Amino acid sequence: MEGILKTLLLGLIDSIKGTILIFYLDKQIKDRQNTPRDFGTPRRRSTNLASSKNTPKKQEDPKILKRAIQCCLLNGGVFWLSILFFECVLLPGIKSAIGLLFGHSPGTDQSIWSWIKPLLMWTFGTSWVLPLFILSKVVNALWFQDIADSAFRHTRGHPQQFSSVSKLVADSLFSVLVQALFLVQSVLVSMIPIPILGDLLSLVHMCLLYSLYAFEYKWCNMGWELHRRLTYIENNWPYFIGFGLPLAVLTAIPNSYIISGCVFSILFPLFIISGNEADPGSQPFEFRLKLFSPVITISNKIFNQTIGNRVNETKKIAHR
């Protein structure tokens, strides 16, 4: 038990490091770009220095902090504040105006408000919240990848590529399916009719899922396939529960799924950086927590029945 708590605490501490590192990474990247390289012998060094002056090297400006600020502005400054303005300012204002106009007739103002409020909420949701939510998801995905790639190149060099494009696509599709089913599994375990147990198991699921989100950028850049990523999390589950705990708790506080998504998008860049810098260790824990095993089994069946059948049909057509 003591070992579990120590490892969990280590993961918790590592998850917070991104809050500090994000203010220094850009400067470190810039300093490394400006540091002259050692070209070996003096004659070779002078020759290479002269040629490097004649062919200026194009350097990309570090933008980790910039992307993180953009995530905060989009999700917090635009998306979240617009929802708060609608719910806390606009709706109460319209309700007060209806009360002033129809307050002299008992029950009329409440009757009018009872059908105007759902109409306003539906209009706001379909014309503003839903389009902006979809747009923010796409933009966030691009910015998250940009942050992860910049941090990875700074600490580990150029990312390793998958052996083929088809392998990359298959790994990505299978990963999305596993994560979606694991999210459903977390909802199902939360319905266990035992006080606290259901909520605790659901929290553990979300901690592991958020850790997978954060570390997956680094592991994919290292060339790790999905089965290796999931096995590593299951073997080191105390660390990853601790790592994902802050984000899981903070996103569980809002009652609205939309607001919870805003909180996630604002904080997630910090966890990407923390995951890139963290070192969970290579020594697996005493026993493996196989929470991903059920969804992997289901995903394999779905994948084999859909993708596998199409591949077999293609092979049959090719042999005709």
| Higher pLDDT pick, 216 / 27 | 216
pLDDT at residue 56, as a whole number: 45
Does residue 211 carry a pLDDT above 90? Answer: yes
Tens digit of each residue's pLDDT (9 = 90 or more) over 3-22: 788 888 999 999 988 778 77
The residue behind tokens 């002269």 is 50
How far apart CA 79 and CA 139 sit, in angstroms, is 13
Does residue 185 carry a pLDDT above 90? Answer: yes
pLDDT at residue 60, as a whole number: 54
How far apart CA 122 and CA 10 sit, in angstroms, is 45
Does residue 319 carry a pLDDT above 50? Answer: no
pLDDT at residue 40, as a whole number: 52
Tens digit of each residue's pLDDT (9 = 90 or more) over 22-72: 777 767 766 666 666 554 555 554 554 444 444 444 455 567 778 888 888
How far apart CA 65 and CA 274 sit, in angstroms, is 14
Tens digit of each residue's pLDDT (9 = 90 or more) over 224-272: 889 999 999 999 999 999 999 999 999 999 888 888 888 988 888 889 9
Tens digit of each residue's pLDDT (9 = 90 or more) over 84-129: 898 889 999 998 888 888 777 777 878 888 889 899 989 988 888 8
Q: What mean pLDDT comes out for the span 301-313?
A: 67
Helix axes 91-102, 108-124, angle to 10 degrees: 150
Does residue 184 carry a pLDDT above 90? Answer: yes
Whole-model pTM?
0.78
Domain residue spans of the chain: 9-23+64-78+134-312
pLDDT at residue 43, as a whole number: 54
How far apart CA 211 and CA 276 sit, in angstroms, is 11
N residues, the chain: 320
pLDDT at residue 311, as a whole number: 47
Does residue 317 carry a pLDDT above 60? Answer: no
pLDDT at residue 27, as a whole number: 72
CA distances from 200 to 115, 156, 271 (A): 39, 36, 22
